[in-house]
């Protein structure tokens, strides 16, 4: 893995390099743009996002705390050839993950073959025994997958993680595009940029396509934990775009193993639930009895095959960080293909040999909790202080099975509008893969950018921003 930082506009030579072909047209436009006009457009964007209420709730702030995710007005541009490769790789990977989930909850061939140690799956809290033997429509488990990708060089991609539970962020992909088209319509006539606006249509098509067998005109609803959830804006946005009901647990009830909504015209049957609630909170009778968010009896209806949940219950077993290392093997095992996308080399600290290496090289590595997410509970070796590293060392020695380690990747940078002007900042990419009757991806995704100079942490909860992501027409 190269340690040189790849800039997506100027290549491997960093800020001294020539502008790459796919950025040229944009760069010409940008150079001709007076700086004060750019500043004015940036303010305009901020005012508009506030007015439209495109915010995310922040836990722990004063009641109803709402905050904007910073939007960067400089788009990220991906050439068509790179995208084609990426798309093939993503489809391949998500197909393999769906095969894996079906296998784990049925014959468990991959465990019998000894490719993955059985205990690692069956003793994992993310493995859901009540899914064992249950058939789901089309054998699809992960209907919506958000795969986090980083670029390290031209055509060089690594998968950071596969998010198969309730990945969020797609509303920002759509709103960012809408905002950029509104601010700079002329850009979209200069270049052929592939559209992303049809995402809600194909999401709805995907969801309707996985209705229980025999349902002719399925009713789909989006289940949200409610207004205090950080992604609530996205839930309302998607429900509105798809024209489906946005329901909370209290709006649904189960009678004779079927799920109904409480409506002003009486009970209405629901066939597919796009749920944005974690497994644990879905049904107080099956999972956490203290959950007020779920629907009592939902799992009973699910197991009876009278309602489809998207994503299925139990997908967490496939995106657990301890399972990540096995995804290339899954691709070979289920599809008999070579993996197109690379995994980041990963040390599993439960293995003595790996552990010794990692403890000797902590300043160079990133250590992550196996069950962690959102950029919390991780150690970025090069950025950490000696005492933080010492603390992590103790934690690793105390319970090594809880951690994995990876080299610090040289994440690519993109030109970004910051206080000091336009400067390169590190980015990642989350494309959204939809699986149902077929596997589809809208060309693009959510680009997250670390606004702090040199920072590699792009999470919105930790000061990251977002960009519009352009995939150019071939």
Whose Cβ is closer to other proteins: residue 268's or residue 342's? 268
- The span from the CA of 141 to the CA of 435, in Å, is 8
Minimal distance, residue 61 CB to other proteins, in Å: 16
Whose Cβ is closer to other proteins: residue 44's or residue 248's? 248
Minimal distance, residue 414 CB to other proteins, in Å: 32
Long-range contact set of residues 385-393: C-beta below 8 Å, sequence gap at least 24: 389/362, 389/363, 392/362, 392/367, 393/359, 393/362
Minimal distance, residue 281 CB to other proteins, in Å: 18
Minimal distance, residue 172 CB to other proteins, in Å: 17
Whose Cβ is closer to other proteins: residue 39's or residue 227's? 227
- The span from the CA of 75 to the CA of 186, in Å, is 14
- The span from the CA of 313 to the CA of 322, in Å, is 19
- The span from the CA of 324 to the CA of 344, in Å, is 9
Distance from the Cα of residue 49 to its chain's centroid: 22
Minimal distance, residue 285 CB to other proteins, in Å: 13
Residue whose pair of structure tokens reads 């798309």 in the numeric block: 87
* Kind and range of the H or E run holding 314: none
Whose Cβ is closer to other proteins: residue 224's or residue 311's? 224
Minimal distance, residue 150 CB to other proteins, in Å: 35
Minimal distance, residue 272 CB to other proteins, in Å: 16
**Contact residues for other proteins, defined by CB under 8 A:** 51-53, 227, 236, 239-240, 245-248, 250-251, 253-255, 260-267
Where do runs of H (alpha helix) occur along 53-191?
80-104, 109-112, 118-122, 170-183, 185-190
Structure tokens at 254: 């189960």
Whose Cβ is closer to other proteins: residue 251's or residue 369's? 251
Minimal distance, residue 263 CB to other proteins, in Å: 6
Q: 320 Cβ partners below 8 Å, 6+ apart? A: 124, 126, 370, 371
User: Given 3-state DSSP classes, what are the helix, strand and coil percentages for the chain, each rounded to the nearest 5?
Assistant: 40, 25, 40
Instruction: Count Cβ atoms below 10 Å from residue 105 Cβ, excluding itself.
Output: 24
Whose Cβ is closer to other proteins: residue 87's or residue 175's? 175
Minimal distance, residue 188 CB to other proteins, in Å: 24
CB of 99 within 8 A of CB of 335? yes
Whose Cβ is closer to other proteins: residue 247's or residue 414's? 247
Structure tokens at 233: 């804006």
Q: Is 446 exposed, middle or buried (0-12, 13-18, 19+ CB in 10 A)?
A: buried
């Amino acid at each position: 893995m190269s340690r040189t930082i790849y800039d997506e506009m100027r290549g491997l030579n960093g800020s001294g390099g020539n502008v790459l072909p796919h950025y040229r047209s944009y760069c010409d436009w940008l150079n001709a743009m007076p700086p004060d006009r750019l500043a004015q457009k940036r303010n305009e964007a901020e005012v508009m996002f506030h007015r439209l209420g495109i915010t995310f709730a922040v836990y722990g702030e004063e009641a109803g705390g709402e905050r904007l995710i910073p939007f960067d007005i400089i788009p990220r541009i991906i050439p068509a050839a790179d995208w084609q490769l990426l798309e093939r790789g993503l489809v391949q990977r998500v197909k393999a993950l769906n095969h894996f989930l079906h296998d784990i909850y049925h014959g468990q061939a991959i465990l019998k073959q000894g490719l993955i140690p059985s205990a690692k799956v069956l003793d994992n809290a993310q493995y859901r025994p009540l899914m064992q033997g249950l058939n789901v429509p089309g054998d699809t488990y992960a209907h919506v997958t958000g795969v986090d990708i980083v670029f390290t060089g031209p055509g060089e991609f690594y998968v950071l993680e596969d998010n198969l539970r309730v990945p969020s962020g797609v509303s920002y992909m759509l709103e960012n595009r809408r905002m950029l088209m509104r601010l700079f319509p002329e850009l979209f006539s200069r270049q052929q940029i592939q559209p992303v606006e049809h995402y809600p249509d194909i999401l709805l098509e995907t969801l309707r396509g996985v209705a229980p067998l025999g349902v002719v005109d399925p009713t789909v609803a989006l289940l949200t934990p409610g207004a205090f959830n950080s992604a609530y804006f996205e839930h309302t946005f998607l429900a509105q775009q798809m024209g489906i009901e946005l329901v909370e647990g209290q709006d649904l009830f189960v009678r004779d193993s079927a799920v109904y909504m409480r409506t002003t015209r009486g009970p209405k049957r629901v066939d597919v639930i796009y749920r944005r609630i974690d497994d644990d909170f879905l049904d107080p009778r099956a999972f956490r009895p203290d959950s007020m968010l779920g629907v009592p009896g939902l799992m009973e209806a699910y197991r009876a095959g009278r309602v489809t949940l998207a994503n299925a219950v139990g997908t967490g077993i496939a995106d657990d960080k301890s399972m990540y290392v096995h995804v290339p093997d899954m691709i070979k095992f289920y599809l008999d293909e070579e993996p197109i996308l690379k995994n980041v080399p990963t040390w599993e600290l439960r293995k003595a040999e790996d552990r010794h290496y990692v403890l000797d090289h902590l300043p160079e590595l990133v250590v992550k909790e196996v069950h962690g997410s959102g950029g919390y509970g991780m150690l970025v070796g090069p950025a950490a202080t000696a005492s933080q590293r010492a603390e992590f060392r103790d934690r690793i020695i105390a319970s090594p099975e809880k951690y994995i380690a990876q080299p610090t990747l040289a994440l690519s940078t993109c030109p970004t509008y910051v206080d000091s002007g336009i400067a390169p900042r590190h980015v990642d990419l989350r494309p959204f893969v939809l699986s149902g009757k077929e596997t589809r991806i809208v060309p693009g995704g959510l680009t997250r950018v670390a606004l702090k100079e040199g920072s590699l942490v792009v999470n919105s909860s930790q000061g990251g921003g977002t960009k519009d992501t352009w995939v150019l027409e071939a």
